[in-house]
Amino acid sequence: MDNKTSFWIVKQEPSQYSWEDFVKDGKTYWDGVRNYQARNNLQAMKKGDLVFFYHSVIGKEIKGIAKVTREAYPDPTTDDERWVVVDLKPLKAFAHPVNLEQVKSHKDLQEIALVKQSRLSVMPVTKKESQVLLKMGKTSIH
DNA sequence: GCCAACGTTGGC
DNA sequence: GCCAACGTTGGC
């Protein structure tokens, strides 16, 4: 990680694709985004950026962190040219998953998009927020 | 171009 | 299961 690294959060319901599925696969392309704002965030991801993996609905917790291994390209699951995917690989599981309640109650995470824009499935995270999340997850990335 | 109707997401 | 938030669609 250098100072050009950006941080993001992606959300998925674990009943559809869980962090455990992701680890088992070793890598994946992040498909199925059908929202312009989320799509724009995918397109802004750079190789090497770090991505928190959040379980929505069931668990409601950040399970780990992934790395962008390929920047945006057309979503192979649709002919619609508007939509893109990125390739992600698991980097590290959180030693302690961080749940939504913890995020909401932390003073430095009051403005995080995860809380402010609860319906968005791909969103940016500031450096400060990322550091707080990593600390709460008792996880370091090196 | 406005806005009502409708659909989806996700927290509770 | 409900509903708030919010994005999309289509009639006018």
Say whether the CB atom of A13 is under 7 angstroms from strand B. yes
pLDDT of residue A67: 97
Query: Quick check: A50 pLDDT over 80?
Result: yes
Number of domain units in chain A: 1
Q: What is the mean pLDDT of residues A75-83?
A: 88
Q: Tell me which nucleotides of strand C come within 7 A of a protein CB.
A: 5-8
Task: Give distance CA A58 / C1' C2 (Å).
Answer: 17
Give the Cβ contact number of residue A82 at 10 Å: 10
Residue A142 lies in a domain: no
Task: Give distance CA A40 / C1' C6 (Å).
Answer: 17
Q: What is the mean pLDDT of residues A26-34?
A: 94
Say whether the CB atom of A57 is under 7 angstroms from strand B. yes
In 3D space, the residue among A90, A78, A84 whose CA is nearest the CA of residue A33 turns out to be A84
Give the pLDDT confidence of A93-140 residue by residue, as tens digits. 999 999 999 999 999 999 999 999 988 999 999 999 999 999 999 999
Q: What's the pTM? A: 0.94
Say whether the CB atom of A60 is under 7 angstroms from strand B. yes
pLDDT of residue A104: 94
CATH of the domain at A127: 3.10.590.10
Range of A48's domain?
7-136
Query: Quick check: A1 pLDDT over 70?
Result: no
Say whether the CB atom of A43 is under 7 angstroms from strand C. no
pLDDT of residue A141: 86
Q: Is A32:A77 a contact under the CB 8 Å cutoff?
A: yes
Burial classification of residue A75, based on how many CB atoms lie within 10 Å of its CB (0-12 exposed, 13-18 middle, 19 or more buried): buried
